[in-house]
Structure 1
Amino acid sequence: MRLTTFIVPALLAASPAFAQQQAPVPPDTGAAAAAVADDEFNRETITVGAGGVYLPDYEGSNNYRFTAAPAAIGTFRGFNFTLAGNRLSVDLIPDGGGPTLDFQAGPIAVVNFNRTSLGSIDDRRVRALGELDTAIEVGGYIGVGKTGVITSPYDRLSVSLSYRHDVTDTHDSGIWQPTVNYLTPLSRKAAVAVFASAERAGRGYARTYFSVTPAGSLASGLPTYNARAGWKNYTLGAVGTYSLTGDLLHGFKVVAGGTYGRLLNDFGDSPIVSVAGRRSQWLGAVGLAYTF
């Protein structure tokens, strides 16, 4: 999942997702307030936002740049949808009201812009490898979430597994991604989340984005390299949001967060990373969102 790396949509999607949780009522507000929270949980909402993101030039780069990223997330008749940067997903299993297990399944689509614009890449060696075509990755996901887990009746823990495959023949391979998310409201106006994710990429992905052909080696000066399929990376992140008007279920809110990722195995050993870039990948973002 990537604007230029897969972690951008995860960061942006986590923040407006708070609007889909129950209204965060502190424990001492009593049963009446909790009843209001349950009623708010069932209402239809949509959150739209945009943020400035500081991220690597390409997956594995040690040079960074700023870009903008949009996000939208909503609930309609119990169905959830998320548009986050270059990723769109829909949960086709309606949610139940109140604290309960929430089973999730639906389609996913990701537009992969990794190394599709040479003008955004500072390193001349990577630029010399040439521009790549945009990949469109389509697939699905399954997951389960539970509210009322650790800190209060209103926190949420969820796990999911997704698979997507390139349908444009750019890398013509698949990507598996397990993800764990935990979020908790701190009040009616503030919430925080932490998440962890990993990706396992196929041979075509490794060859397209991390291998260096003899011709590429001659053009760039990087050594020839043949990357193999396997676990590509892991990512850890945290994000917080605070309502500027209204509360988490309505009004403007500011969102900020960051992630740390590390490339693994053949992906981290690639000269595109080990010589021209770096295994460790950082990302930071801050933005503004509005919930209707």
Structure 2
Amino acid sequence: MDHFRCRLAATFVVAQLLVAPAMAQEEEQHSTLTIGAGIAAIPSYEGSDDYRVMPLVQARGKVHDFAFWTRGTALYVDAIPDPTGTGVDFELGPVVNVRLDRTSRKAIRDDAVRALGKRDVAVEVGGFVGVGKTGVITSDYDNLSARVAVTKDVAGAHGSYVVTPTIEYFTPLSLTTFVGASVSAEYVGKKYGRYYFDITPQESLASGLDVYNRAGGSGFKRLNVNLSAGKALSGDLRKGWAIFGVAGYSRVLGKYADSPIVADAGSRNQFVGALGIGYTF
């Protein structure tokens, strides 16, 4: 089970891989589904300088114009039907995320951080709101969107909230190729920092890392930038097989980056990469 959870944690890096095919669907299609799978190289924990290669699975689609998508270990459901054609798309709906960081000792390669012990699985429940526009710069089919998700752990792990603002842009270069970019951040509550980044005296003795008690208090924890691209194998992004790739950079910020978990045992600079294949029905 722990190994399975670690594999699930890898899926967050390919969230962008499935967005553009869904956006490129023919206007008359009111129900679609894109499923993707592949491999990703990700840090072994948030703030690590060791990397693991993991399998991944993601999905995106809509049922009668009501969209849904996975974003790593999170599921978003848009309760506002998508409009047809170019125009403004308002988003509002629930989101559920399962946070699996450091829930398995086997996933942590650094001996000192492993000695700090496992963290419990966090189940973060909340909602999101956003707005998007199709037909912005390059054609009637490119898309610019912005959204904010707010969730709170209800499983008793970190017991705090996470606010995730995101801006995304995707454009098809042809009927067979797309490129995209996204920028996001994570703002967390004080309990989150204490749970994942503070080190108690007892943990310091066990790990050899210095005591750290300054990660409490709310603040921006991480900034993420991702670039993605895809190429249809069937000759049409709107259906059939396609291959995708993503490259990403994240930076752990402020007092979270100053934690010995990051500053001594890891790195504030985080890189991700993934290759995948998807099928659109």
The interval holding the TM-score normalised by the smaller chain is over 0.9
* Residue-by-residue CA offset, 1:66-102 (whole Å, 9 max, x unaligned): 1111111101111001124311110000011100100
Q: Decide whether the 8 Å contact of 1:11 with 1:239 is kept in 2.
A: no
> Which residue of 270, 273, 279 maps to 1:284?
273
Equivalent residue number for residue 157 of structure 2: 170
Describe the SS at the equivalent of 1:223.
coil
Distance 1:263 1:177 in 2: 14
Q: TM-score, normalised on structure 2?
A: 0.94
> Which residue of 64, 80, 83 maps to 1:96?
83
Equivalent residue number for residue 252 of structure 1: 241
How much identity, in percent, do the aligned residues show? 42
Describe the SS at the equivalent of 2:170.
strand
Is residue 2:128 matched to residue 1:126?
Answer: no
Distance 2:244 2:133 in 1: 23
Q: Decide whether the 8 Å contact of 1:19 with 1:45 is kept in 2.
A: no
Equivalent residue number for residue 200 of structure 2: 213
Count residues in correspondence.
275
Q: Decide whether the 8 Å contact of 1:166 with 1:173 is kept in 2.
A: yes
Equivalent residue number for residue 110 of structure 1: 97
Equivalent residue number for residue 33 of structure 1: none
Matching of residues 54-65 of structure 1 within 5 Å: 54-65=41-52
Describe the SS at the equivalent of 1:58.
coil
Distance 2:146 2:10 in 1: 19
Structure 2 CA distance for partners of 1:14 and 1:156, relative to 1, 3 Å: same
Describe the SS at the equivalent of 1:75.
strand
Equivalent residue number for residue 144 of structure 1: 131
Matching of residues 68-87 of structure 1 within 5 Å: 68-87=55-74
Distance 2:138 2:260 in 1: 45
Unaligned runs of 5+ in 2: none
The RMSD of aligned alpha carbons is: 1.8
Is residue 2:185 matched to residue 1:198?
Answer: yes
> Which residue of 18, 21, 26 maps to 2:20?
18
Q: TM-score, normalised on structure 1?
A: 0.90
Unaligned runs of 5+ in 1: 24-36
> Which residue of 250, 262, 281 maps to 1:273?
262
Structure 2 CA distance for partners of 1:201 and 1:240, relative to 1, 3 Å: same
Distance 2:66 2:11 in 1: 20
Q: Decide whether the 8 Å contact of 1:15 with 1:240 is kept in 2.
A: yes
Q: Decide whether the 8 Å contact of 1:82 with 1:88 is kept in 2.
A: yes
Distance 2:230 2:279 in 1: 11
Distance 1:225 1:16 in 2: 39
Distance 1:267 1:174 in 2: 16
Quote how far apart the aligned CAs of 1:162 are.
Answer: 0.6
Describe the SS at the equivalent of 1:170.
coil
Distance 2:188 2:229 in 1: 30
